[in-house]
Structure 1
């Protein structure tokens, strides 16, 4: 009876991620994706994204590939061939290169300072476990046809054309990656080449939405608060489609910096002046006795009227406060 109950609880936790909220960072997204979306998929018939390999979970969000389950053979990178990695269906490079932050300082700068990039990088619709070696070989290449390329990974059907800088996924996921790409370009108002649009529109028609893709969409929508309209049929990408960009507005609104008011007499319960929190480290500083009070950058400042308010928001007092 106890065993049956534990199975029921596990199933509920995997397929019913109610009351969840979108991940704020890529690191957080990987953990949530494991726990809420793919936990029961490691030994499913679908397998990983590119090769259909089964795997065993390791650590918070990683996995170890079972090469025999899919006939996988290492091309070159043995260590990466042995593990799963989280593939961005639309590469982070592609997402970032259409943001000013990337031009100013690359991916790290975008992850630190651009709320839209943060939302794109952590978007669960764009993540899927994949064999690490194939993920690495795919790099930031667009999806394309690699018909002239011989098998590179044993029985794995995904191929990478290094000369043409294109990756052709196995047929089983061509529709899924097309609709995930449509979603990302539509939600964040990105520009897609005509050639890429034509290819993905063809894959969308040739490979209709599967039962698993619908279930994946349901699980993710319970966390993200919305579905992929290209999976549900609410939207359809056609020639000349104009991206909506609804994710750009929501990302900026959700992470808009909160202004810090000027200190006022007796406005905090513990000392004179407001309490300043660092929204990046989730540490707060008192106006008296905390050396870091004046050192929090303006872009990371958030104010509280009391320590209890700060603690309720998930902040902790700085360790160097006297």
Structure 2
């Protein structure tokens, strides 16, 4: 018993600040981003990502675009143009394709089985409200120069070149998206083409850090425990940059400690590092999920088989079913 307690204590010690407070799911991240980061931005001078539009919050994390505030005109999808969506500056497709889980079953499989993917999907630095239509048009395209694309969204200067599969954001956020991309590729050990590196390095230099970008960075750092060092100036990107892989190392270290507890002679309780209050726990071996209340086996799923979800809806979407002994 003493050995198990020591291992549990060790697990608490090695969980880094970045994952002690960071959201564990994309759904949770959107709610936190609304409440803690963009709470005062709907009517602010910066606006949403691609067109600078103002918006009104709707529901837990959504919003309704004020098209007149930015001169926005729908290109094709009028209903989607009316709402905000949470854009992954580095698309989930981009970072997912560099994970084995995606090759074995796409995004659904990554959400269900890969804690590093879930961390990337929920990373607050990579999320920004945007006009839904532009978010959809951008899809998983890389950022680049869309000089062959005519204006598509009224006075909004963001352009999407569908033929070249390239999206060029408005000038005001080019530096922000560049430094966010550097952060994601550095933290999660992703590979970037030389051409993409050169373009983003140019944007980062041409469009320096703004007061809002610093404030956004500070707000996120307060939540997750560390900043985007490409914003603070502590880190810079050069051709051939070798990623630190800090995000992967943190996850692997925590997972290893959890497995060590699970494999000890005495059964170990589920620890706060693996389960947080209100979290839905799935068992990837049995394919069932357990709720924090009403499910007797909630605290009995071995750490090595645990998959966490923000809600039962997320668990079902990932292919899990509710445990039969839940009341």
**TM-score band w.r.t. shorter chain:** 0.7 to 0.9
1:36 is aligned to: 36
Residue in structure 2 matching 1:300, options 298, 306, 310 = 306
CA distance in 2, matches of 1:83, 1:191: 33
Cα distance per residue 1:271-307 (max 9 Å; x no partner): xxxxxx9833454799xx96999998961299xxxxx
Structure 2 unmatched runs, 5+: 1-19, 270-278, 283-288, 309-322
CA distance in 1, matches of 2:253, 2:299: 26
Contact 2:291–2:298 (Cα < 8 Å) also in 1 = no
Contact 1:37–1:216 (Cα < 8 Å) also in 2 = yes
1:191 is aligned to: 191
CA distance in 1, matches of 2:42, 2:280: 38
TM-score (norm 1): 0.79
Number of residue pairs the alignment of both structures matches: 276
Give the SS at the match of 2:86.
strand
Give the SS at the match of 1:167.
strand
Give the SS at the match of 2:44.
coil
Cα distance per residue 1:214-248 (max 9 Å; x no partner): 00000000111110010000110011211111111
Contact 1:145–1:166 (Cα < 8 Å) also in 2 = yes
The answer on 1:77 being equivalent to 2:77 is yes
Contact 1:285–1:293 (Cα < 8 Å) also in 2 = no
CA distance in 2, matches of 1:174, 1:301: 36
Alpha-carbon spacing, 1:301–1:172, altered in 2? closer, same or farther (3 Å): closer
Give the SS at the match of 1:279.
strand
Contact 1:260–1:301 (Cα < 8 Å) also in 2 = no
Shift of 1:79: 1.2
Contact 2:50–2:134 (Cα < 8 Å) also in 1 = yes
1:160 is aligned to: 160
Shift of 1:50: 0.2
CA distance in 1, matches of 2:297, 2:173: 54
The answer on 1:279 being equivalent to 2:281 is yes
1:249 is aligned to: 249
TM-score (norm 2): 0.78
Shift of 1:263: 7.6
Higher RCO (C-alpha under 8 Å, 6+ residues apart) = 2
The answer on 1:320 being equivalent to 2:322 is no
1:58 is aligned to: 58
Shift of 1:320: 3.2
Shift of 1:319: 8.0
Shift of 1:118: 0.7
Contact 2:290–2:298 (Cα < 8 Å) also in 1 = no
Alpha-carbon spacing, 1:263–1:22, altered in 2? closer, same or farther (3 Å): closer
Whichever of the two has the greater Rg, that structure is 1
Alpha-carbon spacing, 1:231–1:278, altered in 2? closer, same or farther (3 Å): closer
Alpha-carbon spacing, 1:230–1:293, altered in 2? closer, same or farther (3 Å): closer
1:234 is aligned to: 234
Shift of 1:78: 1.1
Shift of 1:252: 2.5
1:49 is aligned to: 49
CA distance in 2, matches of 1:283, 1:101: 25
Contact 1:110–1:118 (Cα < 8 Å) also in 2 = yes
2:148 is aligned to: 148
1:22 is aligned to: 22
